[in-house]
Structure 1
Amino acid sequence: MNYLKNHQIFESQDLSETQAFLSDMNSIDTIDALGKNASTDVSIQSAAIADITLLGASFGAGRIHLKTPAIETDDLFLLFVNSGNGQVKHGAHEFEISPQRGLMRNMRVPLSAIEDDFSALGAHLPVSTMRKHAHALTGRDIFRNELVFDAAIDVTLPGQGHVVDTLHYIANAVDGPLYGLENSIILAELRDLLLTNILMQLPNSYLDILHDRPSTVALPRYVKRARDYIHEYADSAIHLADLVAYAGCGYRTLLVGFNDVYGMAPMAYLKTIRLNRAHNELLEAAPGTTVAKVADKWGFGHAGRFAQSYAVHFGVSPSETLKRCR
Structure 2
Amino acid sequence: MPPRQSFEKDSFPDLLAHYPLFRSEDVEETQGRVAAVFCPHVLRVAGAAQHLHVQHNLVKLHDTAINFLSYGADVEIDPGRLGDFYLAQIPVAGHADIQCGAQSVVSDVNTASLLSPDTPTRMHWHEDCAQVLLWIEKAAMEHRFALLTGRDPDGPLAFDPSLPQQAGLSSPWTQAVLDLARNIDQHGTHWLQFPAAVASMEDYLLRTLLLLQPHTYSYLLARSAEPARPRHMQRVIDYVHANADTPLTVADLAQIACVSVRALEEGFRRHLNTTPVGYLRDVRLDSVRQALIAAAGAEHASITDIAYRFGFTHLGRFAAYYKKRFGVSPSATLRGEAAERHSSDTRR
TM-score (norm 1): 0.60
CA distance in 2, matches of 1:56, 1:204: 25
How big is the shift at 1:124?
Answer: 1.5
How many positions carry a matched residue from both structures? Answer: 219
Deviates further, 37-46 or 98-107: 98-107
Please give the per-residue CA displacement for 1:159-200, whole angstroms capped at 9, x wherever unaligned.
Answer: 211111111122223343242341122111110111122111
Answering whether residue 57 of structure 2 is matched by residue 15 of structure 1, we say: no
Please give the per-residue CA displacement for 1:84-134, whole angstroms capped at 9, x wherever unaligned.
Answer: 111122233333111122211123333222221111112111222122223
Answering whether residue 221 of structure 2 is matched by residue 210 of structure 1, we say: yes
CA distance in 2, matches of 1:204, 1:106: 10
In the alignment, which residue of structure 1 is the partner of 2:131? 120
CA distance in 2, matches of 1:210, 1:131: 13
In the alignment, which residue of structure 1 is the partner of 2:79? 68
Answering whether residue 90 of structure 2 is matched by residue 88 of structure 1, we say: no
In the alignment, which residue of structure 1 is the partner of 2:179? 169
Q: Which runs of 5+ in 2 are unaligned?
A: 1-12, 226-261, 274-348
CA distance in 1, matches of 2:113, 2:63: 20
CA distance in 2, matches of 1:16, 1:2: 23
Kept after mapping to 1: 8 A contact 2:119/2:158? no
CA distance in 1, matches of 2:103, 2:219: 24
In the alignment, which residue of structure 1 is the partner of 2:56? 44
Kept after mapping to 2: 8 A contact 1:81/1:98? yes
Superposition pairs of residues 165-314 of structure 1, within 5 angstroms: 165-181=175-191, 182-211=193-222, 212-213=224-225, 214=262, 215-216=264-265, 218-220=268-270
In the alignment, which residue of structure 2 is the partner of 1:111? 121
Q: Give the match's secondary structure for 2:22.
A: strand
Kept after mapping to 2: 8 A contact 1:27/1:69? no
CA distance in 2, matches of 1:146, 1:33: 32
CA distance in 1, matches of 2:148, 2:108: 31
Q: Which runs of 5+ in 1 are unaligned?
A: 224-326
Please give the per-residue CA displacement for 1:38-84, whole angstroms capped at 9, x wherever unaligned.
Answer: 11110111112222111220112x3222221335x342111111111
Letter in 2 for 1:46: L
> Cα 1:150–1:65, aligned 2, differ >3 Å: closer, same or farther?
same
Identical aligned residues as a percent: 16
Answering whether residue 42 of structure 2 is matched by residue 27 of structure 1, we say: no
Q: Give the match's secondary structure for 2:119.
A: coil
How big is the shift at 1:208?
Answer: 2.9
Letter in 1 for 2:85: D
> Cα 1:93–1:205, aligned 2, differ >3 Å: closer, same or farther?
closer
CA distance in 2, matches of 1:26, 1:130: 16
